[in-house]
Amino acid sequence: MTTDDLVQRQSVRPQAPQFRLISRDDSTAARRAELRTRRGTVQLPAFMPVGTQATVKSLSPQEVQRTGAEIVLANTYHLMLRPGVEIIKESGGLHRFMAWPGPILTDSGGFQVFSLAHRRKVTDQGVEFRSHIDGSSHVLTPERALDLQLGFGSDIIMPLDDVAGYDSDDATQRAAMERTHRWLSRAVLHWRQSVPDTDQRPLLFGIAQGGFDRARRRDSAAFVASEPVDGCAIGGLSVGEPKALMLEMLAESISNLPEDRPRYLMGVGSPEDLWQCVALGVDMFDCVHPTRVARRGALFTLDGRVNVTSARFQRAFGPIDPTCDCETCSTYTAAYLHHLFRARELLGYRLATIHNLRFMQRQMAAIRQSIVDGCFEQSMRSFLERYQTANVELAEQQRRLWAASRSRSGN
């Protein structure tokens, strides 16, 4: 598919392009861009904090904003089960419900159905499953996943996809990809029919899958690119595979994605992932990692993660990171955080979360600036040389979580 073809497909959408490429790095595939949504423009590359159940765990929306986040993600699977789309609609939509005025991206529910739900049954029609909360029966189809997100009032919506795990065989991975493609076409059709007025439409992204096969990754990306979507997501990565393989598959996917639409790597990542994946051309990220590890006391610094519960912080009377401008580091000592975690005080989870999300946003700001300044690669090298990664531990943990959820669901 040539760029001209792509431009032609894009013209199916009559409004002005939402995606604006500002600057391109010379030596890597990094891009500085922006994405216009109906609730504001997002500076790219961007990291989206995860507000699974209509709240970024432990933070108020104002605190999320003050970390520098411009957009948050919420999970359709969780919200459809609790409180349910009707209550969110009656509340005046998800933005009013959770008091977040900026853009919201919602996923389709697919990933959680495959990782959390019980007794799921996938057919071409959709997926039937039981809630992990109360065992109640639910159905997600490509159409229903969109209706839910339209009901939430999300600004960026994702189509239902079929996710194959790192441990699935070749045939399963292929079948999941092909189903994902068929479901995307249905989603596009349903989106157009449901919201005929293009000005009223939220943005719709496609999701490229393809498992862990290079050719399939390219094929799936090409398929997504051929659909008139507003952005291209890369799914099915960071599900327990080695980091090198993840980066390899990501590069394959991106090789067949168009330049003129944003690329969103779903469910990634750690601080080092941000730099490495931007270098490959990613524009958007989301991940529970910074918030989840924060609640266990693991805090990001430029030297790597530190655990504030460890004895060495008992008498650390400076901030966790003296170079950090977050509310936590500006106000509290590491010794106080240590105390809060040891005493299991709720304030500790919040202060740690603020710090980690601010750390992520500071990385994104540094990434954006360095692309414009033409020194992205150098900045990346500086960051990666200093930052001690916890990759191996993280990948192993993700593998275990995934395996546990698969076996729990009888797959």
Is residue 286 among the annotated active site residues? yes
**Quick check: 71 binds a copy of itself (CB under 8 A)?**
no
Q: Does 64 bind a copy of itself (CB under 8 A)?
A: no
339 binds a copy of itself (CB under 8 A): yes
- How many CB atoms lie under 10 A from the CB of residue 115? 20
* Separation in Å, CA 204 to CA 18, 236, 360: 11, 18, 25
Alpha helices for 256-390 (secondary structure H): 271-279, 289-294, 327-331, 334-342, 346-373, 376-386
Residue 107 known to be catalytic: yes
Q: Distance (Å, rounded) from C-alpha 149 to C-alpha 155?
A: 9
Instruction: Point out the catalytic residue in the list 155, 219, 286, 321.
Output: 286
Under the criterion CB under 8 A, does residue 350 sit at the interface with a copy of itself? yes
3 state DSSP class of 224: helix
Question: At 233, phi and psi to the nearest 5?
Answer: -95, 150
Q: Phi and psi for 254 in degrees, rounded to 5?
A: -65, -30
Please give the C-alpha separations between residue 336 and each of 95, 308, 314, 329, in angstroms, as whole numbers.
Answer: 34, 10, 8, 11
Using the rule CB under 8 A, give the single segment among 57-65, 135-143, 175-183, 281-289 that binds a copy of itself.
57-65
- Distance in Å, CB of 161 to a copy of itself, minimum: 25
Site string (84-123) toward a copy of itself, x via CB under 8 A:
---x--xxx----xxx------------------------
**Looking at 131, 333, 382, 391, which residue binds a copy of itself (CB under 8 A)?**
333
Among 183, 349, 359, 383, binds a copy of itself (CB under 8 A): 349
Q: Residue 333, by phi and psi: left (phi above 0), alpha (psi -120 to 50) or beta? A: beta
Question: Which amino acid makes up residue 379?
Answer: S
Q: Applying CB under 8 A, which of residues 311, 322, 346, 410 lies at the interface with a copy of itself?
A: 346
**Annotated active-site residue in 107, 162, 283, 321:** 107
Catalytic site positions: 107, 286
Which residues of the chain form contacts with a copy of itself (CB under 8 A)? 53-55, 57-60, 78, 82-83, 87, 90-92, 97-99, 314-315, 317, 331-333, 335-336, 338-340, 342-343, 345-347, 349-350
